[in-house]
A and B are shown apart, each in its own frame.
Chain A
Amino acid sequence: MEELTINPIQQTFGCPACATQASAGETFCTTCGYPFEGTEQEQRYFLSARDLKTIDLEAAEKQIKRASNALFFIGGLTFVFGFVFYAMAAPSEKIAILITNVILAAIYTAFGFWCKSKPLAAIISGFSLYVLLIIINAVLSPLTIVSGIVFKIIIIGFFIRGVKAAIEADKLNKELNVNRAG
């Protein structure tokens, strides 16, 4: 176990867990909760519990990254298919189809980027838009529900796991005292 070295002039020392400067009178680190005066076993338990939470946080961030990639992927597909549908559409509908798909692609891409700072809001918003479009297409042409069903299930799976992971990451960030950028 790392020994605590107290600065005799300022009466401060670095926390072994998070390296924050702590004052000599403190029993626990005010930044991470490390028990300075705990037994060796308590200190080891604290560090291993913190490591486990860090691993959980990394796993949650991986799920968030997948949801973010799903948003980018749908954005890209919408953009490409926007031009395909534009080429295939009747002249009177061409401009409406192109504008709709370009705006949708831009929204999905923006949510993909927003995922880095506010994952929960970005995934919920992107997921809602995706579900709404599935419903609109299903009402206009019921057979579209089954077309690409596997792809839709996979994407929805990424979103659901992304939302759960964002909630979990939020909790772990608070417990580990980590502030997400933005």
Chain B
Amino acid sequence: MSTGRDDLHTDEIVLSTCIGCGLPLTTGSKFCGHCGQGQNIEDPGQSERKWQSVRQVFIFFIICSIICCVFSFVDYFQTLTWSIVADGLFASLSVTFFVLNWHRCRSLLLWPNFSWKRLLVYCSIAIACSFLVGFMVDWLNKSLFSKTFSYYYFYSRYRYGKEMAIFFIAVMPALFEELGFRGFLVTKLLDITEEKQAILISGFLFAIMHRSMLSLFWLIPFGIWLGYIRVKQNTIWYGLCIHFCFNFTACVVEILQSAHYR
């Protein structure tokens, strides 16, 4: 939050000035020694605005949870049509909340300080992590539960199954989870609390939203990493590319494994 404080730039020293009287402040001052004005005081309506942001975060989270849980756990909805409906609902939810906070979120659609090198490094890390996580999750599933799990299996029985799997596993989540979680959610959390806490909360909510206890060990760090990049770079595009590369790699590995075992 901007304090509205001006800074006096001398040759080497930067002196802060009081937000009330404009006179220079001594280093580390929390109150002005001349007029008594607090320098770190919140606006009178700040707490109410924070509480409104908390409510918006919870409404988003609860609707998101209901959509995900209903379409994942109710047998009746385990069809391709309902799966598309679920993805459509989640996409609409993310877009709605993003647009409702358009004035705060729109800058995230820009890509300031774009760097091919940075993008390449991020995507390479995402691909490497995807291989590593895929291997570990497969090993854990086999060791603990004596079974394997494949997202592609659901789409494999349909015509254009591979294309649908890539679209619904790699493209849709990357686009709309980033819009919802790194776009809307992180922005709202930054209104409520400081950067570090906002990143941690968004990472945790992103992880539990996937409803897999075993996957928390990689989803939490992954969510925190995406949140950190969103805050550091002030755009959702790096996160979107990372998320796409991660999911795309996992999807391709599953498709190749499926072809191999067939």
Interface residues of A (CB under 8 A from B): 22-23, 25-33, 35, 95-96, 99-100, 103-104, 118, 120-121, 124-125, 127-129, 131-132, 135-136, 139-140, 163-164, 167-168, 170-171, 174-175, 177
Contact = CB atoms under 8 A, between A and B. Distances in A.
A106 to B, nearest CB: 10
B137 interface: no
Interface residues of B, number: 46
B144 A26 contact: no
A95 B47 contact: no
A160 B197 CA distance: 18
Interface of B: 25-26, 28-38, 40-42, 46-47, 50-51, 54, 57-58, 61-62, 65-66, 69-70, 73-74, 144-145, 192-193, 197, 200-201, 204-205, 208-209, 211, 213-214, 216
5 contacts: A23-B33, A125-B200, A128-B61, A131-B61, A175-B41
Contacts of A25: 33
A31 B30 contact: yes
A129 B208 contact: yes
A100 B201 contact: no
B41 A29 contact: no
Nearest to A129: B208
A104 B38 contact: no
B69 A135 contact: yes
B205 A128 contact: yes
A121 B202 CA distance: 10
